[in-house]
Homo-oligomer: A and B are copies of this chain.
């Protein structure tokens, strides 16, 4: 297959590009290298050294003989060249991963929030538009976030995609509607992903584009089969307060002899997946059309749910580290039920994804111990704070007689 991967230079995009290329697919990456420029601006660099994109690609060609094409494009703003690349390459599938993907980054400053919203929404719209304009049979795989549901206490299993709801109107007429459970994003990043959901629905319903939307959990790990082939192919390893996900941060802290910092009670439940499974799930979505062209196929790309505390305990036990509870920088439920349906990938043959018990921490420890000299301890403590404003009482303004 011919596959375009937007965001193919990023943390999920790069190993996905190599994985699909290794399987013999033709891969074309579109990326504006924004993850690199944001890392420079924040001065929070990857623990692993990241090769320049052209060198990465050259190394891959040298090792495998496979050619990965690359275009540096800002797809949020440059629709015409995006359309031109799609038209001339004429892919079978576009894997749309290009996004500003950090929730803390999106809540850091007004500028970062507005950038995240416009970048993510406009990029997705331009990709959909290019498909609609060039060839509506191009399959689209989008990488969403399981975080769009929010994290309130829920006693039921959150369905993958549409389910049936019943209600009664004011005339006592019973009725049924099909839809997702209401999304409840709690960061601008997750808000942008929930807005992309409505974009995907629109293009699917109106233009019969075949779309799979992968609601992914928190990714852990660094390397995949392909990125391990050479240090010059190494994937990113972010451990800072903004881009570092919880498990990677914990391992760095333990390895550096710091206490593992858990935000608040640590009973927040989150979904997790290993980067090796991310690339396999994306591959599966690429080769498996959504069941029909007029409804987006939502799939939960997760292997397990765990409390943050249980992740911390696991790392602390393995690495003989201490746990330190820190003030939660986010106003969030610190204890809640969170049950996610998770059958669609299994139905496609992905029966066994990696979990935290699978000794894959060795790989992270290995990455961290090789790069101990590069650890910047000052980038771990959370500085970005956000959350709901507490005053929820009715407005005090008086109604003024007209």
The interface of chain A, by Cβ under 8 A from chain B, is 1, 23, 79, 92, 110, 113-114, 117-118, 121-122, 125-126, 129, 133, 136-137, 139, 154-157, 159, 163-167, 169-171, 173-175, 177-186, 188, 191, 194-195, 198-199, 202, 205-208, 210, 283-284, 287-294, 341, 343, 387-397, 399-402
* B residues in contact with A283, CB < 8 Å: 402
Q: Known A129-B113, A129-B114; judge A191-B199 contact (CB<8 A).
A: yes
Contact A205 B184 (CB under 8 A): yes
* B residues in contact with A205, CB < 8 Å: 184, 388
6 contacts between A and B (CB under 8 A): A118-B121, A139-B395, A159-B169, A210-B395, A289-B399, A291-B394
Contact B284 A92 (CB under 8 A): no
Contact B157 A208 (CB under 8 A): no
Q: Known A155-B175, A191-B198, A402-B287; judge A394-B293 contact (CB<8 A).
A: yes
* B residues in contact with A118, CB < 8 Å: 118, 121-122, 125
How long is the Cα–Cα vector from A171 to B79 in the complex, in angstroms?
45
Contact B289 A394 (CB under 8 A): yes
A185 in complex: contacting residue of B125, B166, B202, CB < 8 Å: B202
How long is the Cα–Cα vector from A387 to B170 in the complex, in angstroms?
32
Closest CB-CB distance, A209 to chain B, in whole Å?
Answer: 9
Contact B129 A292 (CB under 8 A): no
* B residues in contact with A392, CB < 8 Å: 208, 292-294
How long is the Cα–Cα vector from A235 to B390 in the complex, in angstroms?
43
* B residues in contact with A159, CB < 8 Å: 169-170
Given contact pairs A177-B182, A184-B205, A292-B393, a sample of 6 additional A-B residue pairs in the complex whose CB atoms are under 8 Å apart: A23-B402, A137-B397, A156-B173, A183-B198, A195-B199, A288-B399
How long is the Cα–Cα vector from A251 to B198 in the complex, in angstroms?
36
* B residues in contact with A292, CB < 8 Å: 392-395
Q: Known A208-B391, A389-B208, A402-B284; judge A125-B129 contact (CB<8 A).
A: no
Q: Known A175-B155, A288-B399, A397-B137; judge A194-B185 contact (CB<8 A).
A: no
Contact A182 B179 (CB under 8 A): yes
A173 in complex: contacting residue of B155, B181, B291, CB < 8 Å: B155
How long is the Cα–Cα vector from A171 to B337 in the complex, in angstroms?
15
* B residues in contact with A175, CB < 8 Å: 154-156
